[in-house]
Amino acid sequence: MSVPLRIILVSTYEMGRQPFGLASPAAWLREAGFEVRCVDLSIDAFAEGTLREADLVAFYVPMHTATRMAVRALSDVRRVNPSAHICFFGLYAAENADYLRGLGVDTILGGEFEASLVRLAGWLATTRSTVTPPPAFPIISLERQTFHIPDRRDLPPLARYAHLALPNGSQRLVGYVEATRGCKHLCRHCPIVPVYNGRFRIIGRDIVLADIRQQVAAGAQHITFGDPDFFNGIGHALPLVAALHAEFPDVTYDVTIKVEHLRRHVAHLATLKDTGCAFITSAVESFDSHILDIFDKQHTPEDFATVLAECRRIGLPLVPTFVAFTPWTTLDGYRAFLREIARLGLVDSIAPVQYTIRLLIPPGSRLLEMPAVQAIIGPLDEAKLSYEWRNPDPRVEALHHAVSGMVQRMTRLPRREVFQRVWERAFDTDVQLPPLPSEMGVPYITEPWFC
């Protein structure tokens, strides 16, 4: 009797969430008859005995941090089990395919990866003892898949992941789902664009709701929708949250939506509020119109102010994120960025790490199409998954280094105190922080990283 193919699916980091990127392919592979173990290295270490017996070890790499951590973990896999077939799958696998192949990764799967993982496992199961070459799996697949209900049976419990912190000091267990993948927009700095190129894929409402049900049964009191933009398919999104609220009226949720979409669909913000949305995350990126144009964000600072005012009118917190340091950031520009945060009363809404985020220019980025960008970048640093660049003003480089270190050291301090310290370092003069509005209670996920 032949030994079944043994598969380990590995997540290294998914922003404090129970990894959908393991639960979804685990369902596909198990339904195809394969033996699967899921390992979340942000919570648990490899069990060397299990790792030693694996035939296929597949790392999920949806983001920059996760990929760099997976590369470090790859050496452990090779040391314990040098004969295992290694796969990297997810958004950053495709973008860094050349680098990963150079490290000895056997198969790269980007885009829609579940069906390809099943095909890879099927090939391995039938050819392990032969020299048959692997099939030519496309590095990027955008095939339309019929999704399965994610299988979360061997993932760590939700209590071991990030929580929702509420203004009253209580916390809620957080579940995580995806209702769509990809994005129909083409923001130049976005890592989704080189893979999906303006396309997105819908996960069926019945599948999403079934996944929510199993997480609520496991204790989830809040759901994060991890879609790159929840309003890419607004006709899918609004009935989904209406159904969620009808079935679980006490379960809250959060979503990520572009300023452009919030402005266009401002009338639907009340629907989000009424169905239990606790907050909206939006990639504002900058208050500088020139940088917004370079990024091709398709919104203006005025658009953001309009949306912020409407969200506040209906009592729906809006949480902006930023790329604070770019090659075009000036010292005066960074100071203006802080002034605008203070003026708009956003200090309580912003995770301090947002004051430190530095632009990444990965392989395939649309920014590379711009002659102005080609003129300022250095070589590709494969290990950092980004092209090198330095701000032309050494004071801005020094500021980034200083602010990054400060924020890392002050993770337990209140947001207002961190902002005060960042302000003092940025101005480096007697410019006083203006009085801030009375403190605003804003719910937030307790894992602050965003890249």
The pLDDT tens digits for 183-207 are: 999 999 999 999 999 999 999 999 9
Give the count of alpha carbons within 13 A of 201, CB side only. 17
Strand pairing partners for 109? 89
Pairing of strands 200-202, 180-182: antiparallel
Q: What is the DSSP letter of 384?
A: G
* Predicted confidence (pLDDT) at residue 133 exceeds the cutoff of 90: no
The model's confidence at residue 321, banded by pLDDT at 50, 70 and 90, is: very high
The model's confidence at residue 55, banded by pLDDT at 50, 70 and 90, is: very high
- Provide the percentage of residues in the chain whose pLDDT is more than 70: 97
What are the distances in angstroms from CA 443 to CA 100, 197, 428?
Answer: 38, 33, 32
The CA distance from 18 to 42, in Å, is 10
- How many beta carbons lie within 10 A of that of residue 187, not counting itself? 21
Strand pairing partners for 381? 386
- Least confident range from 116-120, 124-128, 440-444: namely 124-128
pLDDT of residue 148: 97
304: tokens are 């953001």
Give the amino acid at 299.
H
336 with 166: CB under 8 angstroms? Answer: no
The model's confidence at residue 438, banded by pLDDT at 50, 70 and 90, is: confident
The CA distance from 314 to 267, in Å, is 11
- How many beta carbons lie within 10 A of that of residue 340, not counting itself? 16
* Predicted confidence (pLDDT) at residue 2 exceeds the cutoff of 60: no
User: pLDDT per residue over 373-399, tens digit each?
Assistant: 999 999 999 999 999 999 999 999 999
Residue with tokens 């990520």: 256
* Greater model confidence, 139 or 224: 224
The CA-CA-CA angle for residues 25, 26, 30, to 5°, reads 120
Q: Which residues of 26-61 are buried (b: 16+ CB within 10 A; e: fewer)?
A: bbbbeeeebbbbbbbbbeeebeeeebebbbbbbbbb
Query: Whole-number mean pLDDT of the chain?
Result: 94
C-alpha 116: how far from its chain's center? 22
pLDDT of residue 132: 56
Strand pairing partners for 445? 164
What are the distances in angstroms from CA 395 to CA 4, 23, 105, 150, 341?
Answer: 59, 45, 40, 48, 21
Strand pairing partners for 281? 256, 319
pLDDT of residue 446: 93
The CA distance from 357 to 94, in Å, is 23
Could you tell me which of 239, 298, 234, 240 has the C-alpha nearest to residue 266? 234
User: pLDDT per residue over 10-36, tens digit each?
Assistant: 999 998 999 999 999 999 999 999 999
pLDDT of residue 35: 94
- Least confident range from 111-125, 344-358, 428-442: namely 428-442
pLDDT of residue 42: 95
* Predicted confidence (pLDDT) at residue 1 exceeds the cutoff of 50: no
